[in-house]
Chains A and B, each alone.
Chain A
Amino acid sequence: MSRSPIERQIESSPIDGKIVFKIKGLTKVYGMGEIMVHALRGVDLDFYSSELVVLLGPSGSGKSTLLNILGGLDTATSGQVTYRERDLTRANEHDLTEYRRFHVGFVFQFYNLIPSLTALENVAVVTEIATHPMKPEDALKIVGLGERLHHFPAQLSGGEQQRVAIARAIAKNPEVLLCDEPTGALDLATGVVVLEALERVNRELGTTTVIITHNSGIADMADRVVHLSNGLISEVVQHTVKKRPGELQW
Chain B
Amino acid sequence: MKGQVFAIVLIIVSGVATYVMLISTMNSLNQTRDRFYLEYGFAEVFASLKRAPEDLKTQISKIPGVEHVETRVVADVKLDIPGFDEPVTGRLVSVPDHGKPLLNKLHIRKGRSVEPLREDEVVVSETFAEAHKMSLGDRFGAVINGRWKTLVVVGTALSPEFVLQVRPGAISPDFKRYAVLWMGREALGTAYDMKGAFNDVLLTLSPAAKTSEVLIQLDGLLARYGGLGSYERKDQMSHRFLTEEFRQLERSSKVFPLIFVAVAVFLLNVVINRTIQIQREQIAILKAFGYSHLDIGFHYFQMVLLVVLFGVAGGIGVGVWFGKGLGNIYMEFYRFPYLIYELEWNVVMTAVLINLGSALLGTFHSLRKASMLPPAEAMRPEPPARYRKTIIEHLRLWHLLSQPARIIFRNIERRPIKSCLSIAGIALACAILIAAIFWKDAVDFMVEVQFKLSQKEDLAVTFVEPTSRKAIYELNGLKGVQYAEPYRSVPAKFRFEHRSYRTVIRGIESGSRLHSLLNTDLKPVELPPEGIVLTDYLGTLLGIQPGDQLTIEVLEGARPVRQVPVVGLINQYIGVMGYMDMNALNVLMREDSAISGANLMVDPLHQTDLYKKLIQMPRVVGAVVREDEIRNFYETQAEAFLFFTFIATLLAGTIAFGVVYNSARITLSERSRELASLRVLGYTRAEISYILLGELGLFTLVAIPLGLVGGRVICTYLAATMGSDLFRIPVVVYPATYSLAATVVVVSAFLSSLIVRHRLDHLDLVAVLKTKE
B692 to chain A, nearest CB (A): 13
Complex CA distance for A180 and B765, rounded to whole angstroms: 14
What are 29 A-B pairs with beta-carbon distances under 8 A?
Answer: A71-B680, A73-B769, A74-B766, A94-B684, A97-B684, A100-B680, A101-B681, A101-B684, A102-B682, A109-B769, A110-B773, A112-B677, A114-B407, A114-B674, A114-B677, A116-B407, A117-B406, A117-B407, A121-B403, A124-B403, A125-B404, A125-B678, A125-B681, A128-B402, A129-B683, A154-B383, A154-B386, A180-B769, A185-B772
Contact A116 B385 (CB under 8 A): yes
Within the complex, the shortest CB–CB distance from B286 to chain A, in Å, comes to 25
Q: Which of A116, A124, A154 contacts B410 (CB 8 A)?
A: A116
Chain A positions 76-131 with a Cβ under 8 Å from a chain B Cβ: 94, 97-98, 100-102, 104, 106, 108-110, 112-117, 121, 124-126, 128-129
B766 → A minimal CB distance (Å) = 5
In chain B, what residue has the closest Cβ to A111?
B677
From B383, B683, B765, B766, contact of A101 by CB (8 A): B683
Most chain A beta-carbon contacts within 10 A, residue among B687, B766, B773: B766
Q: Does B388 contact A (CB under 8 A)?
A: yes
User: In whole angstroms, what is the CA distance A117 to B384 when docked?
Assistant: 13
- With beta carbons under 8 angstroms apart, the residue of B673, B682, B770 that contacts A98 is B682
Q: How far is the CA of A180 from the CA of B680 in the complex (A)?
A: 13
Closest 8 CB pairs of A and B: A101-B682, A116-B410, A112-B677, A100-B682, A125-B403, A154-B384, A116-B387, A115-B385
Contact of A68 among B388, B674, B766, B772 (CB under 8 A): B766
Contacting residues of chain B (119-148) with chain A, CB-CB under 8 angstroms: none
Given contacts A117-B407, A117-B410, A128-B403, whether A110 and B682 have CB atoms under 8 Å apart is: no
Residue A163 CB within 8 A of the other chain: no
Q: How far is the CB of A200 from chain B (nearest CB, A)?
A: 21
On whether A152 and B386 interact (CB within 8 A), knowing A100-B680, A114-B678, the answer reads yes
Q: How far is the CA of A97 from the CA of B765 in the complex (A)?
A: 12
How many of B's residues come within 8 Å of A, CB to CB?
33
Tell yes or no: A62 within 8 A of B by CB.
no
Question: Given A115-B385, A116-B406: A108 and B682 within 8 A (CB)?
Answer: no
- CA A73 – CA B384 in complex, angstroms? 26
Would you call the interface of chain B mostly helix, strand, loop, or mixed? helix
> B414 in the interface, Cβ–Cβ < 8 Å?
yes
Known: A97-B683, A114-B677. 13 other contacts (CB 8 A): A73-B769, A104-B682, A106-B680, A106-B681, A108-B769, A110-B769, A112-B673, A113-B677, A116-B385, A116-B414, A117-B410, A125-B678, A185-B772
Within the complex, what minimum Cβ distance (angstroms) separates A215 from chain B? 17
Is A227 in contact with chain B by the CB < 8 A criterion?
Answer: no
Distance, CA A121 to CA B772, complexed state (A): 22
Interface assignment of B476: CB less than 8 Å from any CB of chain A: no
Give CA–CA (A121, B408) in the complex, Å.
13
Contact A152 B681 (CB under 8 A): no
Please tell me if the beta carbons of B766 and A129 are within 8 angstroms of each other in the complex: no
Of the listed residues B403, B673, B679, the one surrounded by the most CB atoms of chain A closer than 10 A to its CB is: B403
A94 to B685, CA, bound (A): 9
B406, B674, B769: the one within 8 Å of A115 (CB) = B674
Chain A residues with CB under 8 Å of chain B are 64, 68, 71, 73-74, 94, 97-98, 100-102, 104, 106, 108-110, 112-117, 121, 124-126, 128-129, 152-154, 168, 180, 185
In Å, the complex CA distance between A100 and B682 comes to: 5
How far is A94 from B773 in the complex, measured between Cα atoms in Å?
A: 28
A60 and B706 alpha carbons, distance in the complex (Å)? 55
Residue of B nearest to A129 (CB): B682
Enumerate chain B interface residues (CB-CB to A < 8 A): 383-388, 402-404, 406-407, 410-411, 414, 673-674, 677-685, 687, 765-766, 769-773
Q: How far is the CA of A121 from the CA of B406 in the complex (A)?
A: 9
Expressed in whole angstroms, the minimum distance between the Cβ of B662 and any Cβ of chain A is 21
Nearest chain B residue, comparing its CB with the CB of A99: B682
List B contacts of A185 (CB < 8 A). 772
**What is the distance, in angstroms, from B695's C-beta to the closest C-beta of chain A?**
11
Q: How far is the CB of B672 from chain A (nearest CB, A)?
A: 12
A126 and chain B: residue at smallest CB distance: B681
Residue from A71, A125, A168 whose CB has the most chain B CB atoms within 10 Å: A125
Given contacts A124-B403, A125-B403, A154-B387, contact A116 B411 (CB under 8 A): yes
Determine which residue in B674, B681, B685 has the highest number of CB atoms from chain A within 10 A of its CB, and name it.
B681
Report which of A102, A109, A115, A125 forms a contact with B387, defined as CB distance below 8 A: A115
Residues of A near B383 (CB, < 8 A) are: 154
User: What A residues does B765 contact at CB under 8 A?
Assistant: 73
Chain A residues whose CB sits within 8 angstroms of the CB of B385 once the complex forms: 115-116, 154
A110 contact set on B, CB distance < 8 A: 769, 771-773
Q: A68–B768 Cα gap in the complex (Å)?
A: 12
Q: How far is the CB of B143 from chain A (nearest CB, A)?
A: 83
* Closest beta carbon of chain A to B296's beta carbon, Å: 28
A112 in contact with B414 given A97-B684, A101-B681 (CB within 8 Å): no
Shortest distance from the beta carbon of A122 to any chain B beta carbon, whole Å? 8
Q: Are B387 and A97 in contact (CB under 8 A)?
A: no
Q: Decide: B388 and A152 in contact? CB cutoff 8 A.
A: yes
- Please give the distance in Å from B669's CB to the nearest CB on chain A: 15
Residues of B within 8 A of A124 (CB): 403
Name the B residues within 8 Å of A64 (CB-CB): 770
Q: Closest residue to A65 on the B side, CB-wise?
A: B766
**Contact indicator A97/B414 (Cβ below 8 Å):** no
| A-chain residues with CB within 8 Å of residue B684 when the two chains form the complex | 94, 97, 101
Closest to B401 in A: A121
Nearest chain B CB to A232's CB is how many angstroms away? 21
- Cβ–Cβ contact B406 & A73, under 8 A: no
| Bound complex: CA A116 to CA B406 (Å) | 8
Task: Give the nearest-CB partner of B679 in chain A.
Answer: A97
Q: Taking A110-B772, A116-B407, A117-B406 as contacts, is the C-beta distance between A126 and B384 under 8 angstroms?
A: no
CA A49 – CA B231 in complex, angstroms? 103
How many angstroms between the C-alpha atoms of A100 and B766 in the bound complex? Answer: 14
B387 and A152 form a contact (CB under 8 A): yes
CA distance A168 to B625 in the complex (A): 80
Best-surrounded residue of B680, B682, B687, B766 (most CB of chain A within 10 A): B682
Instruction: Report the minimal beta-carbon distance from B393 to chain A, rounded to whole angstroms.
Output: 10
Output the least CB separation between A142 and chain B (Å). 18
Which one of B386, B769, B773 has the highest number of Cβ atoms from chain A below 10 Å of its Cβ?
B769
Closest CB in chain B relative to A17 CB, distance in Å: 28
Distance (whole angstroms) from the CB of A156 to the closest CB of chain B = 10
With both chains docked as a complex, state the minimum distance between the C-beta of B353 and any C-beta of chain A, in angstroms.
Answer: 41
- Measured between alpha carbons, how far is A222 from B386 in the docked complex, in Å? 37
Complex: A129 Cα to B687 Cα, angstroms: 10
